[in-house]
A and B are shown apart, each in its own frame.
Chain A
Amino acid sequence: MTVQELYEKIGGDFNAAKKILPSDALVARFVVKLLKDGSIQKLRDGVAAGDSKAIFEGAHALKGVTANLGLTTLSDLAAEIADEYRPGRERTLSDDELGAKIDELNAKFDSTSEEIERFQAQ
């Protein structure tokens, strides 16, 4: 599996990634770093503890990292969640809708991670 094929599988924007990371090898080198990135764990811990500040910080960090890697689906989801929890801003989604978003993000992150692990293992 080439790194480009990986991006197709996980719904990433390979061209966006290539804009920042000028070679395929660099994209490959950086995308696997997502597995060690702590922001998803922070978000999950925040959800478990009902700590909206932690949720915001986790989502916000994840948004930035995934955006830089061209992982647009993940990045968009993280952005929506971060916006909801941004300090001082009114919520626009109901708890249920938000819960669904977080679930969707979790699922997307896990499936993306699996694909990256598979890519890394080859």
Chain B
Amino acid sequence: MPVPDGEKAKRRVIVIDDQEINRELLGMILEDDYDVLYAENGEVGLHFIRENINTLSLVLLDLVMPVMDGFTVLETMRADPSLHRIPIVVLTAEKSAELKSLKLGAADFITKPFDAPEVIRARVARIIELSEGRSLIRAAERDELTGLFNEHFFYEYCQRLERYNPNWEMDAVVVDIRRFNLVNEVHGREFGNKVLQQLAASIKRNIEHEGGIACRLEADTFFLFCRKRESYEELFETLSEDVNREVDNAHVRLRMGVCILGGREVAPERRFARAKLACNRLRGKYSKGINIYDQEFHDKEMHYESFLNDFQRALEEKQFLVFYQPKYNIEGDKPVLTSAEALVRWRHPECGMVSPGEFIPLFESNGLIQLVDYYVWRESAAQIRRWREELGITIPVSINLSRVDMYDPELENKLLDLLRENDLKPEELLLEITESAYTDDARTIIEVVESLRNHGFKIEMDDFGSGYSSLNMLSTLPIDVLKMDMKFIQNVREGSKNFRMIELVLDIAEYLGVPVVAEGVETENQVRLLKNAGCSIIQGYYFSKPVDAKTFEKFLLEKKEVLK
């Protein structure tokens, strides 16, 4: 729909000519349709151009002028990328000047004596229209900040590159900056932009000479389509060094995912998606900078993929099983069963028992873990009730809360419903939350935990020592139990460094006034050490591996016997 003239903003143009009569003539011709600025030489003209850099649609430029001539203006404007958008029409009477002006990037000419006003207006309108179309394309094709391609056009160019160079073997590489949001946060956006520009410049330097191309996808994610190389270490190191050298105090760490699989029969989009996946898998793994998507990676992915496909059916068919591992109090002469931890297993119809290590990280990465968790909670709560009803003994069971559960607004209601449905007290359903969840977003987690504690739930901090809680934070944490995993504390001997580590955890627990549960305990020696160090509760293969509910009954019956 055409825009009514009255509503159309006038485009701004500038006339740079040292002769007042010429300026006035052009003004007379253009002023009805355009907002016209005037300058009497190149220097004044450039000043106005820069002042109106975003609003100027066209420059009408005389060539012979005092102070600064038109050729200099042309050269200056073409050397400055921020001025490339603005088309220049040269005003000249000389045929000979035309070629030179064209080479310098003039878009068109208006000859002196001037043509009829209609002709000049038509020319000006056409050049503006052309340049706006072109700058639209340029804006769509190039990333403004870095001058690299953007995603849409990039894939097109990747395909062309392979089409025209049938012998080239290309790899898809994804580079991004670890915790880039922090760079922006700490140093400001301008600083962040500088980092991105330097990284882009280094990428160009290192891949363009061999025919590679690059784009910035969004924020700090760069896609590089480059010639296959033996190893990507060198490229990775060079990019890291360049950006940290060029930007003072940048201290940025890169990640790189490389898809070496596929070749041209796989669309570039897919190859980059794979490289991105490999790159994303480096999250949290600070010792490794590069991740390669190769056949092995691919097979594993396919395996995961099939797990994902099987997930819904697994839930429906109750392929997930809840196992229970007993916790014993070792303070007295004889160990006493105090509680159990509910642990999930997957009995896959084709793969058999799948270890939690294989599927939990996968389901954590896509949020499905929430469904698994809830399934386990429900089973556990019902089991506590069944044992009470069938054996007349109540044993608290710890259930695990994943990070994503902590953000579930319905978390509290779900847990309270389970208590109600099974007639349980809150201290009978213990809640384990991993320490690293606290360090991620302490404030939110603490709020949730406090609210749960107000309902009477007991909170166990899982994997204590594997996260990075500060002592200061610990003292304010609302927790009831610390869990320490012996897996991380190998070869404990009295007086050894690792042993002092255990003592330290116990000291912290004492300071906080909470008991410590040592899990992963396998040997009698460990039990003795822990007991001597003052640890009261033990969980691990030493007593029992996780077992199904039926098998677990024997521990309950033993306890019942003891209580008698």
User: Of B21, B28, B62, B64, which is in contact with the most chain A CB atoms at under 10 Å from its CB?
Assistant: B21
- A33's contact among B20, B91, B116, by CB below 8 Å, is which? B20
Is the Cβ of A20 less than 8 Å from the Cβ of B116? yes
Complex contacts, A63 vs chain B, CB 8 Å: 93, 112
**CB-CB contacts below 8 Å: B61-92 with A:** 62, 64-66, 91
The smallest beta-carbon distance between B77 and chain A, in angstroms, is: 22
What residue in chain B is nearest A63 (Cβ atoms)? B93
B171 sits at the interface (CB 8 A): no
What residue in chain B is nearest A17 (Cβ atoms)? B113
What residue in chain A is nearest B112 (Cβ atoms)? A64
The smallest beta-carbon distance between A110 and chain B, in angstroms, is: 18
What residue in chain A is nearest B64 (Cβ atoms)? A60
A37 sits at the interface (CB 8 A): yes
- A57's contact among B64, B93, B115, B117, by CB below 8 Å, is which? B64
Is the Cβ of A22 less than 8 Å from the Cβ of B25? no
What residue in chain A is nearest B69 (Cβ atoms)? A57
Is the Cβ of B64 less than 8 Å from the Cβ of A61? yes
- Per-position binary interface string of chain B over residues 18-35, scored 1 when its CB falls under 8 Å from any chain A CB and 0 otherwise: 111110110011000000
What residue in chain B is nearest A26 (Cβ atoms)? B28
The smallest beta-carbon distance between B27 and chain A, in angstroms, is: 11
* A-B CB pair tally, cutoff 8 Å: 60
Is the Cβ of B21 less than 8 Å from the Cβ of A19? no
A112 sits at the interface (CB 8 A): no
Give the docked Cα–Cα distance between A26 and B21 (Å): 12
Known contacts A39-B19, A68-B21, A68-B25; is-contact A22 B117 (Cβ 8 Å):
yes
Is the Cβ of B24 less than 8 Å from the Cβ of A30? yes
The smallest beta-carbon distance between B454 and chain A, in angstroms, is: 86
Give the docked Cα–Cα distance between A2 and B62 (Å): 32
Give the docked Cα–Cα distance between A61 and B17 (Å): 10
Complex contacts, A39 vs chain B, CB 8 Å: 19
B153 sits at the interface (CB 8 A): no
B541 sits at the interface (CB 8 A): no
- Per-position binary interface string of chain B over residues 329-351, scored 1 when its CB falls under 8 Å from any chain A CB and 0 otherwise: 00000000000000000000000
The smallest beta-carbon distance between A19 and chain B, in angstroms, is: 5
A-B pairs with the 3 shortest C-beta distances? A67-B113, A64-B112, A65-B21
- List 19 A-B residue pairs with CB atoms under 8 Å apart, sorted by A's residue number: A19-B116, A20-B29, A20-B114, A30-B21, A30-B24, A33-B20, A33-B21, A34-B21, A37-B21, A56-B64, A61-B19, A64-B19, A64-B91, A64-B93, A64-B113, A65-B22, A67-B112, A68-B21, A68-B113
Residues of chain A whose beta carbon lies under 8 Å from any beta carbon of chain B? 16, 19-22, 26, 30, 33-34, 36-37, 39, 56-57, 60-61, 63-65, 67-70, 75, 79
Residues of chain B whose beta carbon lies under 8 Å from any beta carbon of chain A? 18-22, 24-25, 28-29, 62, 64-66, 91, 93, 112-117
